[in-house]
């Protein structure tokens, strides 16, 4: 399953300010996102999960800073990780079925390729 960008390009454009065009590959965004340096090759967006569709493999997110919403499909290469093992019964490696609306997550994006590499769950539910 490839990463599909429904509104993710819009989410990133608002979060980063520079114009971002969707690359020709459906599993990446333009590789020239913002400024890059040898020490900072990962872009991090803090988001809230609005909805999870495990049967479709999709997650609807809202970027916390801008409020922009987007939907992504979880590709095979994207790691889903818990910040704390205690939040998920001693597990850090998660599946899409472990995610739920209200959780805060960090979305890690490789600036060189524009692909999402990891989603870290920061909080198990809204409090």
pLDDT exceeds cutoff 80 at 33 = no
Domain residue limits, the chain:
8-123
Three-state secondary structure string covering 90-126: CCCECCHHHCCCCCEEEEEEECCCCEEEEEEEEECCC
* Strand, helix or coil for residue 40: strand
Global pTM reads 0.68
Structurally, at CATH architecture level, domain 8-123 sits in: Beta Barrel (2.40)
Q: How many other C-beta atoms lie within 10 A of the C-beta of residue 85?
A: 11
Q: How many other C-beta atoms lie within 10 A of the C-beta of residue 121?
A: 23
Q: Are 58 and 73 in contact (CB under 8 A)?
A: yes
pLDDT in tens, 62-88: 999 999 999 999 988 899 999 988 888
């Amino acid at each position: 399953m490839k990463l599909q960008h429904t509104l993710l390009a819009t989410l990133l454009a608002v979060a980063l300010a520079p114009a971002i065009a969707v690359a020709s590959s459906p599993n990446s965004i333009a590789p020239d996102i913002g400024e890059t340096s040898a020490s900072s090759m990962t872009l991090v967006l803090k988001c809230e999960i609005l909805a999870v569709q495990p049967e479709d493999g999709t997650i609807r997110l809202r970027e916390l800073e801008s409020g922009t919403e987007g939907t992504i499909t979880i590709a095979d290469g994207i790691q889903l990780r818990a910040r704390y093992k205690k939040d998920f019964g001693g597990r850090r490696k998660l599946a899409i079925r472990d995610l739920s609306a209200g959780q805060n997550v960090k979305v890690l994006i490789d600036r060189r390729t524009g692909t999402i590499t990891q989603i870290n769950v920061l909080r198990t539910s809204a409090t």
